[in-house]
Structure 1
Amino acid sequence: MTELLGAADIRRIAEALTVRPAKALGQNFVIDGNTVRRIAEAAKLSPDDIVIEVGPGLGSLTLALLPKAKRVHAVEIDARLASALTATVNSRAGDDAAKLRVHHADAMTVAEDGFDEPPTALVANLPYNVAVPVVLHLLASLPSLRQGLVMVQSEVAERLTAKPGTKIYGIPSLKLAWYASARRAGTVPRGVFWPVPNVDSGLVAFERREPPPGDRREVFAAVDAAFAQRRKTLRIALSDWAGGPDRAEAILRAADVDPRTRGEALDITTFARIARERTAT
């Protein structure tokens, strides 16, 4: 039976490794066993799932995930943490330890050919400073990913799951929506981390779906342009992308979008329609 890490265990392992959580890497280690147990349950993994965990740190969440999945690929950028993770798991996970694969790598360089079996689920306590780019990169690079549950800064969780027409809706909301449907899946208080961060955290769950028709790069370019000047109407905000304001207006009207609309009012399907009209006209 797997033995989870407690606060004293975390500090003891960190001291032995002379590790202090690095702000530059966005490291905050979970020291509460109930929290990682709750995350592992909320991920709704099947025994056939191949999990990718980004930033496993000292192994708190890793230990909770191993009994739930067929395999856990732990991707850790910190060499000391990557080298120590196997020993920690071997000492606490029993037979489940054989399910672990440790990758000393930057998650932003991960590709599907780096795994013996393609990951089907992302479950991670993501470093605050790279959470959005990591999620989007993995969804783009790992088409095998079908679902995920990530812990991120609460404000980031709100942005990732925001709906059109809200103040916090923007580029992260739209780009995640290209790949998946997403929802808030709970909150995580700051007191379960070491060191204690200055913000609360939130859980975001997602399920992959088919994207709308169109070229992703074209659609994302339109999204970026629209929100570079989010207070401007789309006729103005998309003018450089389209080749001038008159051209932007023609594209928008062909896509059945009022040129006076702002980007925050549109969903990803509408942006995809706008991008298709730019290519067609």
Structure 2
Amino acid sequence: MLTPADVRRLADRLGVRPTKTLGQNFVIDHGTVRRIVRVAEVGADDVVLEVGPGLGSLTLALLPHVRHVTAIEIDPTLAEALPTTVSEHAPDLADRLRVVTADAMRVAEIPGPEPTALVANLPYNVAVPVVLHLLELLPSLRRGLVMVQAEVADRLAARPGSRTYGVPSAKAAWYAEVRRAGAVGRNVFWPAPKVDSGLVELRRRPAPSASASREQVFAVIDAAFAQRRKTLRVALSSWAGSAPAAEAALRAAGVDPSARGESLDVAAFARIAEQAPPRPES
């Protein structure tokens, strides 16, 4: 694995200066990367998708434990350097790595074997859309462990009725059981961010509706939280076409029209989507 001195030396050699634009904070603590690999519970049969490998600290920790790592890196300088870094530090494992130079939020396919696990230190500003995009794009992902800003971790893993429950919580729950898997201090990074981080575990589960699509359910979630303090009868009136139509759909779904979106789990949002009023033909 890379020592803190290795990380700085490699960055100097490449002329890399971590940027806020790309959310670059490189992990320099051996204990943290070992902990991530352990908590992720990846094994010899796993194909890991890593997003934002940076200089390679987590990549090098993963490679001895899994069959293959596909690393998606948006920075072309870092993407080009990563195979060389792995060859220098773990030459016997270099053939287990494939690097894809791409934006993880826009990638449409992943070359190579189908990923079974997502393990990543995600940039804070894009963590939620990246997680949701990859879970939708890759049904083969059965589980994940991501390190994100503590506030983002709270939102992803929040339960209905809590202060932090919202759109990210409900949408992530469409795909997976989500829970906080530990806290991470800011001093394990270079440069140290101004906020703490958290680990979030995701375990894939069946979609909560067989008849309503993801798009239909997400439309209900978006409408419900667009007017968070309004009752669902009011908040869903535009979605349903009118407040009375929203009330009818809610009652048919077994949901109190005077409830608010923050009180519903994803299964309830799915039941509402299943009662969507027919749209008039244009």
TM-score normalised by the chain length of structure 1: 0.97
2:230 is matched by which residue type in structure 1?
K
Q: What does residue range 136-155 of structure 1 map to in structure 2 within 5 Å?
A: 136-155=132-151
For residue 106 of structure 1, the aligned residue among 103, 106, 110 is 103
Q: What does residue range 62-73 of structure 1 map to in structure 2 within 5 Å?
A: 62-73=59-70
In structure 2, the residue matched to 1:16 is 13
Query: Contact (CA 8 Å) 1:184, 1:205: kept in 2 or not?
Result: yes
Instruction: Name the SS for the 1:39 alignment partner.
Output: helix
In structure 2, the residue matched to 1:51 is 48
The alignment status of 1:241 with 2:201, answered yes or no, reads: no
The 4+ residue runs of structure 1 with deviation greater than 2 A are 109-112
For residue 192 of structure 1, the aligned residue among 179, 188, 195 is 188
Structure 1: unaligned runs, 5 residues or longer: none
Q: Percent identity?
A: 64
2:81 is matched by which residue type in structure 1?
A
Query: Contact (CA 8 Å) 2:104, 2:130: kept in 1 or not?
Result: yes
The number of aligned residues is 277
Structure 2: unaligned runs, 5 residues or longer: none
The alignment status of 1:97 with 2:81, answered yes or no, reads: no
Query: Contact (CA 8 Å) 2:245, 2:277: kept in 1 or not?
Result: no
Query: Contact (CA 8 Å) 1:171, 1:224: kept in 2 or not?
Result: yes
Using the alignment, how far apart are the partners of 2:199 and 2:263 within structure 1? Answer: 25
Q: What does residue range 69-80 of structure 1 map to in structure 2 within 5 Å?
A: 69-80=66-77
Query: Contact (CA 8 Å) 2:71, 2:99: kept in 1 or not?
Result: yes
In structure 2, the residue matched to 1:260 is 258
The alignment status of 1:204 with 2:200, answered yes or no, reads: yes
Using the alignment, how far apart are the partners of 2:3 and 2:30 within structure 1? Answer: 6
Instruction: Name the SS for the 2:276 alignment partner.
Output: helix
Query: Contact (CA 8 Å) 1:111, 1:142: kept in 2 or not?
Result: no
TM-score normalised by the chain length of structure 2: 0.96
Using the alignment, how far apart are the partners of 1:38 and 1:82 within structure 2? Answer: 24
For residue 79 of structure 2, the aligned residue among 79, 82, 85 is 82
Using the alignment, how far apart are the partners of 1:110 and 1:64 within structure 2? Answer: 25
Q: What does residue range 162-241 of structure 1 map to in structure 2 within 5 Å?
A: 162-213=158-209, 214-241=212-239
In structure 1, the residue matched to 2:272 is 274
Deviation at 1:256, TM superposition (A): 1.1
The alignment status of 1:129 with 2:125, answered yes or no, reads: yes
Query: Contact (CA 8 Å) 1:82, 1:104: kept in 2 or not?
Result: yes
Using the alignment, how far apart are the partners of 1:94 and 1:279 within structure 2? Answer: 60
Deviation at 1:109, TM superposition (A): 2.3
Query: Contact (CA 8 Å) 1:179, 1:211: kept in 2 or not?
Result: yes
